[in-house]
Amino acid sequence: DRPEPPRALRLSGRSGTSLSLAWEPGFNGGLPQHFLLRAEGPDAPPPPAALVTSGFALTLGGLRPATPYDVTVRARNARGESAPARLQAVTSAQREAPPPAREEPPEAPPGGAEAS
């Protein structure tokens, strides 16, 4: 049999360029299954972002800040695909801040003693 749709699809985290999702698997139809995730949004370059995983959580990256996305997750096995589980989510307004600049140690004062 074809697998059942994923259940309890939820947003588990977000940033300016990513959405993290988690779900519970439905019945797998008695066969190994994996999941196809797709995010579609007004600014998404074609084709829409799509990823495949055998786990129950995944982060979709490469998205645009402050953009709404329609996310679908489908289960797939050797017999076909399930109906989609759907979620609407919006990325954060700002991109991640760059890492802080590394501070260089202060230089030795001029005329400092040198070890011999």
pLDDT tens digits, residue range 32-72? 999 998 888 876 655 566 778 888 999 888 888 999 999 99
Q: Which of 5-19, 70-84, 99-113 has the lowest mean pLDDT?
A: 99-113
Domain span including residue 24: 7-90
**59: CATH:** 2.60.40.10
Residues 7 and 75 sit within 8 Å (Cβ to Cβ): no
Q: Is 42 part of a structural domain of the chain?
A: yes
26 assigned to some structural domain: yes
Rounded CA separation 18/63 (Å) = 6
Distance between CA atoms of 44 and 49, rounded to whole angstroms? 8
pTM of the predicted model, to two decimals? Answer: 0.73
Q: What is the mean pLDDT of the chain?
A: 84
Domain count, the chain: 1
The pLDDT of residue 13 is above 90: yes
